[in-house]
C-alpha cells in the first residue's frame, strides 16, 4: 500500500440547476480515492458504511483498483447528505445531514496500510484525524483537509492535527477563518508557522496555489464551461494531487507542481457531471490533454 | 506618438492602515501612463487639470518622458478624490469626490496623437470614451476600462463603446454586473460576443486572465506581502500591459502574454507605497526580476 485515504464514504441526494440525484455515491474519501486511482493502483480507503450501502458502489471502487480492506460495513445507516446548489452553484446549501454510522467512525488502519508513505486525511473531526496520524506515524507525506465547522468549534484540536502533517488543504474562506488574516498570501504564511511545510490553497474558479516558506506556485482553474454538479471538486483536487505524488514516489518542487496540476485537472472533470459519473469514465489521454492545455494556459 | 492614454489626472487624499497622503498625484491616466513609461517613451496623456495642479506633477510626468501635449490646464479645480481603505484594503471607501474641471472633460487628441497605434481609454463617461474612439480611428489596438457606476447608469452607451475596442479591462465584479453571468469564464465569453476580441480580467489577489474566443491565459498576482496603498493597481496593470504591447509593436499571442505579465508586475510595485512613490523609483532590472519570478511561479 502506497496511499491511504481516510474519510467519509457517503450517499448524496442533491439537486443543482442541471438536475438531481438520489442516494448517489459520494463522500470525501470516495472522491479523493477515485481521483487518485488514475495515478496509482496501490491505494486503499479507510471509512465506514452502513448495511444500506448498495453493493454496486464497492464494486465500482474495486473496479478502480481501490483496496477496501479498511472500509468497514456495520449495522446502521450510511452517512447521507441532502443538499442543493442554486444559481452559480458557488455554495452548497445543506438540507439535511444524517451521519448514521459515520457518527461513530473510529478509523483503524489495516496493518498493510500503516507503512504507506502517503496519507490523505479527509475532513473529519480533528481528534479523529489525530488518531489516524497516530497510526500513520511511518508515513512520509501526510495531507490534511478540514472544514469551517471544525475551525469554528474545534480550533485547538485542529491546530494540533495540523502541526503533525506535511500539507494542509484549505479554501480561501477557511484559511481566512483559521488564521484571522484576510490576505491569502499572508494567511498562508501565518499557517506555515503552525507546522505544515505546505499550504495547498483552493481558490475555486480562481485556481489553486501551493505556498511553502520559500516558494509560491499558482495555477488557474481549468476553464470548464460545463458545470453540472460541484460536489467533490475539492476532494478530487486533493485526490488527484496526492495520487500524482504517490505515483512519483517522492515530494520535490517538480513532483509537487505536477501534482497540483493533476489535482486541478481531476477537479475540472469531476464537476462536469453528478456523483462520479464523469470521473469514472475518464481515459488517461483525456487527463494528459488537459494537463497539456493547463501548461499552455500559464506559460509566457 | 505610439501610445495615447486618456483619462483622469487627479489629486488623491487618502488614508490606509499604513498611512495617509494629502493631494498626492493620482488619476487613472497618470497611473497607467507612468506604468507604461517603463516600456515605451513614445506616449502621451490626454486629460485636464485645474490651475491648482502643483507644477511638480507635470515635471514628474515629463521626467518619465510622458508627452503632455494633450494635458490641458484650465481655470478651476483639479479632480480631487478623498478616500479611505480599511482592514484588508480590498475596497476603497469614497469620502468625497470633487470632479472640478474633470466634470467638463471633453478630450481632444492633438494631431500627432491621432495616428498612434495604441490607445488606452481610461474609466470616464462612456459617451466621452466614444468621442475618444472617434478621434482614434486609425489606432490598431484600443483598450477600454470602465467602472460599476457606468455599468449601472449608462450600460447602453458603455456597450456602444465596448463594441468599438479591441480589449476591455474589467474586474470580476464589473464583468458579472455587466453580463449578468456569475461564472467568470462564461461572463467573459458573453462579453466577447459584444464586440471586443479580448477580455482582460482583473481578479485582484487572484491575478488576471486574458480571454479570447479561442484562448485562455491566466497569471497569478505577484505575491506582494507589503501593501501600503492599493490605489492605482488596476490602472498600473493596464498601463504596464499596453506599454509592453506598444514596445513590442504588434499584438500576438506571445506579446499579449508578456504584456499581461508586465501589467501584473507593474501593479505589484504600485501597491507597495502611496501615490506613485514606489513606481517612479523603479529600475528596469527590478521589473525584469519580477517577470522572471512570475514565470517561475506558474511553470510545471
ipTM of the complex: 0.85
Nearest to B218 among A87, A257, A298 (CB): A298
Angle in degrees, CA A124, A115, A243, rounded to 5 = 60
**C-beta atoms of A88 and B182 within 8 A:** yes
For residue B102, name the pLDDT band (cuts at 50, 70, 90). Answer: very high
Angle in degrees, CA A189, B173, B162, rounded to 5 = 130
Q: For chains A and B, count residue pairs whose Cβ atoms are closer than 8 Å.
A: 81
Q: Which H, E and C letters describe A206-218, residue by residue? A: HCEEEECCCCEEE
The pLDDT > 90 percentage for chain B reads: 95
**Model pLDDT, residue B88:** 78
**C-beta atoms of A209 and B225 within 8 A:** no
- Cβ–Cβ under 8 Å, residues A37 and A81: no
The answer to whether residue B94 scores a pLDDT higher than 90 is yes
**Model pLDDT, residue A224:** 85
Nearest to B297 among A87, A88, A218 (CB): A218
**C-beta atoms of B218 and A299 within 8 A:** no
For residue B33, CA distances in Å to A213, B283, B287 come to 36, 16, 16
- Other CB atoms within 10 A of residue A80 CB: 19
Cβ burial A196-212 (10 Å sphere, 16+ → b, else e) = bebbbbbbbbbbbbbbb
Nearest to B298 among A87, A90, A298 (CB): A298
* Closest approach of B192 to chain A, Cα-based (Å): 15
**A173: Cβ contacts below 8 Å, ≥ 6 apart:** A148
Block residue for cell numbers 495540523: A162
Each residue's pLDDT, cut to its tens digit, for chain A (300 residues) gives 999 999 999 999 999 999 999 999 999 999 999 999 999 999 999 999 999 999 999 999 999 999 999 999 999 999 999 999 988 787 889 999 999 999 999 999 999 999 999 999 999 999 999 999 999 989 999 999 999 999 999 999 999 999 999 999 999 999 999 999 988 999 999 999 999 999 999 998 899 999 999 999 999 999 988 899 999 999 999 999 999 999 999 999 999 999 999 999 999 999 999 999 999 999 999 999 999 999 999 999
- Cβ–Cβ under 8 Å, residues A142 and A163: no
**Model pLDDT, residue B224:** 85
Task: Write down the pTM of the prediction.
Answer: 0.91
A227 contacts in chain B (CB < 8 Å): 183
**Model pLDDT, residue B89:** 84
> Model confidence over B103-155: pLDDT tens digits?
999 999 999 999 999 999 999 999 999 999 999 989 999 999 999 999 999 99
**C-beta atoms of B182 and A224 within 8 A:** no
The answer to whether residue B90 scores a pLDDT higher than 90 is no
Nearest to B220 among A209, A260, A295 (CB): A209
**C-beta atoms of B257 and A189 within 8 A:** no
The answer to whether residue B87 scores a pLDDT higher than 90 is no
B186 contacts in chain A (CB < 8 Å): 225
**C-beta atoms of A88 and B207 within 8 A:** no
> Model confidence over B25-40: pLDDT tens digits?
999 999 999 999 999 9
Please spell the DSSP secondary structure of A177-203, one letter per residue: HHH---SHHHHHHHHHTTS-SEEEEE-
Residue to test with chain B: of A220, A240, A258, A264, most B Cβ within 10 A: A220
Nearest to A295 among B186, B295, B300 (CB): B300
**Model pLDDT, residue B225:** 83
Identify the contact set of chain A against chain B, taking CB-CB distances under 8 A: 87-88, 90, 182-186, 189, 203, 205-207, 209, 216-220, 223-225, 227, 254, 257-258, 260-261, 295, 297-300
| SS3 state of residue B157 | helix
Average pLDDT over residues B261-266: 98
The answer to whether residue B240 scores a pLDDT higher than 90 is yes
Amino acid at each position: 500500500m502506497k496511499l491511504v485515504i481516510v474519510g467519509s464514504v457517503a450517499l448524496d441526494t442533491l439537486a443543482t440547476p442541471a438536475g438531481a440525484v438520489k442516494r448517489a455515491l459520494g463522500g470525501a474519501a470516495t472522491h479523493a480515492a477515485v481521483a487518485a486511482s488514475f495515478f496509482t493502483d496501490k491505494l486503499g480507503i479507510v471509512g465506514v458504511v452502513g448495511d444500506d450501502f448498495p453493493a454496486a458502489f464497492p464494486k465500482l471502487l474495486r473496479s478502480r483498483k481501490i483496496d477496501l480492506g479498511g472500509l468497514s460495513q456495520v449495522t446502521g445507516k450510511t452517512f447521507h447528505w441532502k443538499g442543493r446548489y442554486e444559481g452559480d452553484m458557488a455554495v452548497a446549501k445543506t438540507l439535511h445531514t444524517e451521519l448514521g454510522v459515520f457518527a461513530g467512525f473510529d478509523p483503524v488502519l489495516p496493518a498493510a496500510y500503516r507503512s504507506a508513505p502517503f496519507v490523505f486525511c479527509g475532513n473529519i473531526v480533528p481528534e479523529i484525524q489525530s488518531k489516524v496520524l497516530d497510526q500513520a506515524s511511518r508515513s512520509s507525506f501526510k495531507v490534511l483537509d478540514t472544514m469551517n465547522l471544525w475551525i469554528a468549534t474545534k480550533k485547538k484540536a485542529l491546530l494540533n492535527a495540523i502541526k503533525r502533517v506535511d500539507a494542509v488543504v484549505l479554501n480561501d474562506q477557511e484559511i481566512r477563518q483559521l488564521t484571522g488574516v484576510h490576505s491569502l498570501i499572508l494567511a498562508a504564511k501565518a499557517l506555515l508557522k503552525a507546522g505544515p511545510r505546505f499550504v495547498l490553497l483552493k481558490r475555486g474558479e480562481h485556481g489553486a496555489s501551493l505556498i511553502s516558506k520559500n516558494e509560491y506556485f499558482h495555477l488557474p482553474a481549468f476553464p470548464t464551461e460545463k458545470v453540472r454538479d460541484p460536489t467533490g471538486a475539492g476532494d478530487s483536487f486533493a485526490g488527484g494531487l496526492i495520487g500524482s505524488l504517490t505515483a512519483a514516489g517522492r515530494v520535490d518542487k517538480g513532483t509537487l507542481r505536477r501534482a497540483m496540476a493533476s489535482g486541478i485537472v481531476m477537479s475540472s472533470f469531476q464537476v462536469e457531471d453528478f456523483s462520479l459519473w464523469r470521473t469514472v469514465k475518464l481515459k488517461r489521454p483525456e487527463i494528459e490533454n488537459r494537463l497539456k492545455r493547463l501548461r499552455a494556459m500559464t506559460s509566457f
